[in-house]
A and B are shown apart, each in its own frame.
Chain A
């Protein structure tokens, strides 16, 4: 018991590997398996053929049966290792299967048909990372369209979010004007209200504007996020007023002060907001779900969700499309991992 407490509480390790260190590494190792394992399993599965995908028990790697072209047969024939009566193993191609009996031929001698029990043959397989599922998925799933919509939404919304929120944050941070406190309080107040609560009226507003099935209906409404305004405002407050006064004396307009003094100095905060915005928009589901109902306007997330319900669960295609959907976020994470984690640790938001 005391060992556990010692290991839970100590912040500075000793030089030699203590039992508590070992437990820590064990915990970390298990966590890596539990947290990365499912994603790795998804990626490996996405290369499996449709036949391999439904196989039970599942295998780790994507196997594919070897085939051979034999004269006289239009389709390539699957290869098997067949145990003959004398105990020797020969590689044969299967022509057809009738009940428990398999009819095979020797590819070098296609005339003679050999009949064996199906239990006496083993498929010849090798590991193939084939992109077939990805190609078929992209063609049948309208993936290119969804990808385009998601990219348009993510980029346009992020740019709009940065502009609109930084302008408001500038006003709230650097001017004293009647109504400032009220605006700020209302924004903080609405932070806690989730979209789910206003689903119906939001849908009405969007319908009245005519933004149903329009990407604008997904891009614009979420752009004025109170989180973004508050984050930027807290940062801009730290910019010295003297810089602004000096620019004013030089005859700069307020717009120039905003674009050429405030924005360049707020870059770190803008970067954090940009990363968050990309994450929010790329992963957004509920809002596009209610705004978009026509298939060709779907974003990736909505498309992927409808895809899993619509088709007769074609797992091999769904898996490939899921991998493609998580790929961009994974790449962003790999490069900006440090910015993201410190950004969240300091702002406490997601």
Chain B
């Protein structure tokens, strides 16, 4: 009885809320309609689509498109002045400074050694992180695709960290890995010495990779799982009738049909890995030393946090990075086209 009346109370609260919301929104819609109807009289039906895209294009143009063009102005000018009209035009000197190396394999011989260190760090990170990411999310997706109990629960377990903010992820792991943290507690209880994870370069790089896989793998698992579920099950039944074993079914059906999803996962994780910034920024701050300094943080620190703000250098480095990203995206689009 009580639950019924409670339900009714909730229902009436819900419908009152809906009524209030819809009458408010109707009121607003009616007021705005006066303006839009007047506009429609002026520009006519053919002009209306432009009115509809205008707010979006304004924001998009001012905050995305225009800055992209402006970036080139910064890249080809030098000095520490912020406003472009006060910056002397110096042509390609910024790019020359970035690319000036006697030996490209040794950052110490480069004029901007930090830039090259960041590139090498990013490359190492990308190779290991993307490799690990693809393998782990593939295994997880294959297992999640089996007929197991509580599948929905397990799926959301993998996905939960994806929603956490980079700062929260960084702080959780910083807390676990600190000198007196959980991991060191477990290590000492097993009779070993504490490991200074955040002070040792190799360990710091290792944990950055582990953490980013931990944080993002749910996303890629989900894409692969969707790919697996799109494979028609009668293919497996047919293979079974033909006497194929599980190994042959995997090689003959699952893998080839999953290739498109795998490529999406590979390319997306590649593009995202190149842009890694906020988790690491809050986790190690690029340290110890320059061990986890990646390319975006290099750009950020050149333009915003170093004492002399070298906007030109930051802008040209970002253009070089954008070039790499454009190439990666083109490759992805090419693969997608082949699929279609």
Q: Do A and B bind each other?
A: yes
Question: Given the interface contacts A190-B68, A341-B159, does A42 sit within 8 Å of B172 by beta carbon?
Answer: yes
Question: Given the interface contacts A177-B49, A283-B164, does A11 sit within 8 Å of B63 by beta carbon?
Answer: no
Shortest beta-carbon distance from A248 to chain B in Å: 8
Q: Which of B82, B277, B322 contacts A193 (CB 8 A)?
A: B322
Contact of B121 with A by CB under 8 A: no
- Is the CB–CB distance between A205 and B67 below 8 Å? yes
Instruction: List the B side residues contacting A203 at CB < 8 Å.
Output: 303-304
Q: Which of B53, B60, B181 contacts A171 (CB 8 A)?
A: B53
Q: Produce 1/0 per residue, B296-340, CB < 8 A to A.
A: 100110011000000100110011011001100100000000000
Shortest beta-carbon distance from B332 to chain A in Å: 9
- Is the CB–CB distance between B245 and A348 below 8 Å? no
- Is the CB–CB distance between B148 and A13 below 8 Å? yes
Tally B residues with Cβ within 8 Å of A: 111
Contact of A249 with B by CB under 8 A: no
Contact of A49 with B by CB under 8 A: no
Contact of A90 with B by CB under 8 A: no
Task: Tally the A-B contacts, defined by beta carbons under 8 Å.
Answer: 315
Contact of B70 with A by CB under 8 A: yes
Majority DSSP secondary structure for residues of A touching B? helix
Cα(A191)–Cα(B314), bound, Å: 21
Cα(A318)–Cα(B171), bound, Å: 8
Tally A residues with Cβ within 8 Å of B: 104
Instruction: List the B side residues contacting A192 at CB < 8 Å.
Output: 271, 325-326, 329
Stretch with Cβ within 8 A of A (4 or more), from B5-13, B103-111, B122-130, B219-227 = B219-227
Question: Given the interface contacts A168-B57, A177-B49, A345-B223, does A315 sit within 8 Å of B300 by beta carbon?
Answer: no
Contact of A99 with B by CB under 8 A: no
Contact of A285 with B by CB under 8 A: yes
- Is the CB–CB distance between B159 and A286 below 8 Å? no
Q: Produce 1/0 per residue, B264-305, CB < 8 A to A.
A: 100010010001011001100100000000001001100110
Contact of B246 with A by CB under 8 A: yes
- Is the CB–CB distance between A202 and B63 below 8 Å? yes
Stretch with Cβ within 8 A of B (4 or more), from A23-31, A80-88, A114-122, A129-137 = A23-31
Contact of B32 with A by CB under 8 A: yes
- Is the CB–CB distance between A350 and B40 below 8 Å? no
- Is the CB–CB distance between A201 and B185 below 8 Å? no
- Is the CB–CB distance between B142 and A9 below 8 Å? yes
Cα(A187)–Cα(B142), bound, Å: 35
Question: Given the interface contacts A31-B154, A57-B185, A198-B71, does A285 sit within 8 Å of B166 by beta carbon?
Answer: yes
Which residues of A (159-188) have their CB < 8 Å from a CB of B?
Answer: 163-165, 167-168, 170-172, 175, 177, 180, 183, 186-187
Contact of B24 with A by CB under 8 A: no
- Is the CB–CB distance between A350 and B226 below 8 Å? no
**30 CB < 8 A contacts A-B:** A2-B246, A6-B245, A9-B249, A11-B145, A13-B146, A25-B148, A39-B160, A39-B172, A41-B172, A58-B182, A175-B52, A177-B46, A194-B275, A196-B296, A196-B318, A197-B319, A197-B322, A198-B318, A202-B67, A204-B67, A253-B36, A255-B32, A282-B165, A283-B164, A290-B304, A304-B167, A332-B163, A333-B160, A341-B159, A348-B264
